[in-house]
Amino acid sequence: KRGAVGARASRRGRAGAVRGRRGRRVVARDLAPIVPNVAKATIVTDSAPVLRDSVVSLARQQLGTAYVLGAEKPGRAFDCSGLVKYVMGWINVRLPRTANEQAYTGLPVGKQLDRFKPGDLLTFGTGRRISHIGVYVGEGKYVHASRPGVGVIESVLNPGARRFRGAVRIVADASDTTSTPQP
């Protein structure tokens, strides 16, 4: 009979790896979230409401634009991160290219809908990686480049959705930087 220690030891492979349910070797570093090394891109300003309104307005102007993976061309095509990068570029915020990198550039807001402000970036993903991003426009809605054949649309947010990871704030006022989000 094997004890708990023996069972655990039999699952271990080389270099401290553990065998997963399907026998695949899982190393401890594979279990951590994928957090890119990116600089914070938060703007703290007294005119935050005006900038947020500009972000929302520009995002809504892109409704109906086609979806093409890797695209960031206004009037022609966007993917989700290309849309966010373009919209934030209009207020002179330089964001990284991918949704996963963009998700770690602002102040974390959490997952509570009542904490979101227009212009916040909503993040979605499965597993450890953020794979989709959109711009919150208020009243529980957000603009995002959905998928091929659909393009840039405005959708209703379901905060309880399994893929929803939370929001980050790029345009903040002084009160946003002094409060911390609740998990």
Active centre residues (catalytic): 80, 132, 144
Distance from C-alpha of 72 to C-alpha of 67, rounded to nearest angstrom: 9
State how far the Cα of 154 lies from the Cα of 59, in Å rounded to an integer.
Answer: 9
Residue ranges of the alpha helices (H) in the chain?
4-11, 48-61, 80-89, 99-102, 174-178
Q: Is 155 in contact with 170 (CB distance < 8 Å)?
A: no
Q: Is 159 exposed, middle or buried (0-12, 13-18, 19+ CB in 10 A)?
A: middle
